[in-house]
Amino acid sequence: MFAVIRTGGKQYVVKEGDVVDVEKLGHEAGAKVLFDEVLLLDDGGQTAVGTPLVEGAVVQADVVETFKDDKVLVFKKKRRKQFRRTRGHRQTLTKVKIVKIYPDRTAVPAEALTPVPPAPEAPQKAAPKAKAPAKKAAEKAPAEPKAEKPKPEKAKAKAKAEAKPKTAKAKK
């Protein structure tokens, strides 16, 4: 018997006993997980194709470990522009072992149906400190008006005019 399940935006063909690497699930090692998005179910004689999901079918799995995948390098380059960027990325994955495929949800044991809370995430950075409240306008002393500074162009023109002696030209 095999099934096609969907998790993390990807589809996986699984059968009992398979160990599959899926997108991070957020559960600790040893937790039981139920995949209820079963797209196809085949027991050897009959094939049930979902529209889009097979009603009532679930796949039970145990979380083996959470790990980081190999690094993928992303290299960008623009020719003749002296532009090069190299970035790396390591995807977080969860390794799960498929325990049992149930064509009907009612056949699942009660302990497998109990939801397992996701593992707590790493502590996040502390929130930025709140700024002290601004003083009210009434508490502030009234600001004195600032004297306007002369603009540089006017100052230069004024200095040039003062330096040049005025001469009267006689008209003939």
Residues 29-46 have pLDDT tens digits of 999 999 999 999 998 889
How far apart are the C-alpha atoms of 103 and 12, rounded to whole Å? 17
Is the peptide bond between 52 and the residue preceding it cis, with omega within 30 degrees of 0? yes
Number of CB atoms found within 10 A of residue 7's CB:
19
**CB 15 within 8 Å of CB 2:** yes
Give the pLDDT of residue 28. Answer: 92
pLDDT of residue 35: 93
Tally the residues of the chain: 172
* Sheet with 47-49, side-by-side order of all strands: 10-15, 2-7, 38-42, 47-49
Strand partners, 68: 92
Q: State residue 106's pLDDT score.
A: 84
pLDDT at 101: 93
Question: Span 140-150, mean pLDDT?
Answer: 64
